[in-house]
Every structure is written in structure tokens, then in C-alpha cells.
Amino acid sequence: MRHLISITDLSVSEIDELLRTGEDIIKHPDAYAHRADGKKLATLFFEPSTRTRLSFEAAMHELGGSVIGFSAANSSSASKGESVSDTIRVVGCYADIIAMRHPQEGAPLAAVRRSVAPIINAGDGGHQHPTQTLTDLLTLKREKGRLDHLKIGMCGDLKYGRTVHSLIEAMSRYEGTEFILISPKELRVPAHILKELDKAGIPYREAESLEEEIGGLDALYMTRIQGERFADMDEYLRLKDSYVLDPAKMAMAKADMIVMHPLPRVNEIDTDVDDDPRACYFKQVWYGKIIRMALILKLLAEKHMDYVSNVHGEKFEDGTVCKNPRCITQTEQGIKHMFLRDRDGACRCMYCEHSK
């Protein structure tokens, strides 16, 4: 069964093929109107969403298919204690393909064990969000005309911002990418991601001032401070207004810099920026529906293929458990606590990727 759990499950040529399909959908939408006739998508959202769930649903309708699902854990039997694996096994009896969002990190990978339908990770806690990344890549391709040789500034909550983690992994694979990682020191990109950048020799710099960096960027990826992921609410209140992009800061940016944001926005982009032609975040929403149409078609067509997770490292279990309180292994029944060991001996949880 082919699934999309991490953006690294797709090769660069597969990503490029999805982007080409997306561009073809934009040019010839009518040609896609019946491509998924008779097929059902299940949207299982254990955590709130506006864009991801509705864009998946709109995408399936535009392909001629139909949609079932739920939009909150408390309207499913998860509220009675049903495991992710059992839920997925049951939904596989009703649907041809499943998009799931879950607050626990690694939940989609746990779901794969029992699924008879392709699973798409629609966001797992603060871990990953691969379909937002496909959205971001289509936006960059359409608005900048290329995916290589881009200097990308990522600004805000780079610790809990799952869209940032997946986008870094994706853009690292394109030649000439450079990252400027702008965050308060408490919300820096997780160490395992920086380590991968170091190993691959990808240029990046961590910074705290948006004003000092904005002038050199080709694209600025703003993110919300993710209040729901903080264990300490006082820390959230202290950091929540760390960055606000406003017309004064936009005046320091290049004339062709684009502003992206996965949304929802809270107050990190002043609404006065919305009419700036460089503001792309609402176009990005539309690209999200297009690329999800392309992805649904790909996974339905490749349903028979094996899922080969492209995670690096030697798998092992040693009787210990993951220490991340948000990891799916903390609650899921019947799950083995598997870890991955890098070549340099560092170990991390196979599901949530937190250090052991």
C-alpha cells in the first residue's frame, strides 16, 4: 500500500511529476472532472482544520469522487477510547483513500500498520505536514518560476511548526537552496533537522531579527506561534507577538520577494500586507486544493505498490519507551517502541523522531 506520511516518502522526480499534474489541472480542469468517479475519500480529522480538510474534500469532489469522514475526535469513537489502528482498519472497509490529521506525533505512521487504504498524513502534532509542503512547492514553482537557487526565510515558531519541518526537508533536495531560520531562541528548528542540513551541506543560518534578514530573501515563509503545542502558557504569552510582518518591513524586502504562510494567521502578518502583490498566502490556499487533486490521483493509481518509508537509520527496539509526551507510542495499544540509530550513533523514535 502506497502512503504519504513524510514528504521524504516522495522522490524529487515524483514531486516534480505531482507539480506537473497540478499545472495541468490548472490548465485543463475539465479533463479531471471524472478521474475519481466511484471512489471515496475519508477525511479523519482528530484535530481542527479549515484548509486541509476542506481542500481535500473539494479536491475529491472536483475529481468526481465522494467524501466521508469526521472533523473532530469527539464526534468519532476515538472519544470512547478506540485506537488509531482500529479506526483506520474500520474506515478502510468504507473508503478507498484516507487523509488523517492527529494531534499526536507519529499517529499516521502508526495507522499504516493496519491500513488497507492509502493514508495521507494531513498533519501530526508538531511533527510533519507533507501535503502543506506540496502546496508550498507548487506556490514557489508558480510564483517564483523555479524551485532551485532560492533563499528562503522561515520566520516564527520553527520548533512546533510542522509545515516548516516538512518544507525544509523538501527544499533541501533542490540545488542552491539556502535557509534563513528566524525565530526566538526558544522556538528554533529541532536539532535532528539541523543535523540533516549539516550532513547534507545545505547552507543555513539561524537569526532572531526579521528586519535584519528580510532584504536578502527570495521568499519569506511566515508562521504562527503554535499556542496549542506549548506546555507552559506563560512562555506562549511571552513569545506570541515575537514577529509581526507589516508594510514597514515589506518596504525593506526585494520587489520580487514573495510572502507565504500556511495559515491560519493570528497576528503575525498585518492585514495591511494582504493587498501587497507580493503576498501569496491566499493564492497558496487555492494551490493546496490543486496539488491535493494530483496527490489523490497518484495514490489511487499506486495503491498496489509497497510502502517504503524513506527514514534513515537502523531500526531497533530495546525495551525503552519514547520520552516525547506527544508521541503516539504513549497511548496507542499494541505498538512497539521502535527507534532509529543514525550512522553516528544518535537515536530517535521511529514515529515522532524525538531524540532518545
- The catalytic residue positions are 51-52, 80, 101, 129
- Let me know the angle formed at the C-alpha of 88 by 84 and 89, rounded to the nearest 5 degrees: 120
Query: Applying CB under 6 A, what is the total number of residues that bind ligand CP?
Result: 9
Among 3, 51, 102, 348, binds ligand CP (CB under 6 A): 51
Of 65 and 161, which has the nearer Cβ to ligand CP?
Answer: 161
Stretch that binds ligand CP, among 5-13, 50-58, 79-87, 183-191 (CB under 6 A): 50-58
**Does 43 participate in binding ligand CP (rule CB under 6 A)?**
no
- C-alpha to C-alpha distances, 157 to 189, 194, 274, nearest whole angstrom: 8, 15, 21
Among 50, 77, 79, 310, binds ligand CP (CB under 6 A): 50
Q: Is 49 in the site for ligand CP (CB under 6 A)?
A: yes
Q: Which is nearer to ligand CP, 57 or 213 (CB)?
A: 57
The interface region with ligand CP, picked from 30-38, 44-52, 180-188, 251-259 by CB under 6 A, is: 44-52
Q: Nearer to ligand CP by C-beta: 50 or 320? A: 50
CA distance 322 to 317: 11
3-class state of residue 314 by DSSP: strand
DSSP bridge pairs for 70: 44
**Is residue 132 involved in binding ligand CP (CB under 6 A)?**
yes
CB nearer to ligand CP: pick between 280 and 322: 280
Closest by CA position to 161, among listed 185, 190, 134: 190
Look at the chain and count its residues.
356
Strand partners, 279: 259
The least distance separating ligand CP from the CB of residue 261, rounded to whole angstroms, comes to: 9
- Select from 253, 272, 258, 255 the least CA-distant residue to 214: 253
Q: Is 125 a residue that touches ligand CP (CB under 6 A)?
A: no
Report the sign of the C-alpha dihedral through residues 255, 257, 261, 267, in that order. Answer: negative
Residue with cell 480542469: 29
Task: Count how many Cα atoms sit within 13 Å of the Cα of residue 312 in the half-sphere of its side chain.
Answer: 13
Under the criterion CB under 6 A, does residue 123 sit at the interface with ligand CP? yes
CB of 262 to ligand CP, least distance (A): 4
128 binding ligand CP? (CB under 6 A): no
How many Å apart are CA 142 and CA 135, to the nearest integer?
Answer: 11
Cβ within 8 Å of residue 289, ≥6 positions away: 55, 58, 59, 62
Q: Which of residues 248-287 bind ligand CP (CB under 6 A)?
A: 262-264
Biggest alpha carbon–alpha carbon distance for the chain? 56
Residue 289 is a binding residue for ligand CP (CB under 6 A) = no
Q: How far is the CB of 275 from ligand CP (least distance, A)?
A: 21
Binding status of residue 52 toward ligand CP by CB under 6 A? yes
Does position 165 interact with ligand CP (CB under 6 A)? The reply is: no
Nearer to ligand CP, 36 or 260 (CB): 260
Interface residues toward ligand CP, by CB under 6 A = 49-52, 123, 132, 262-264
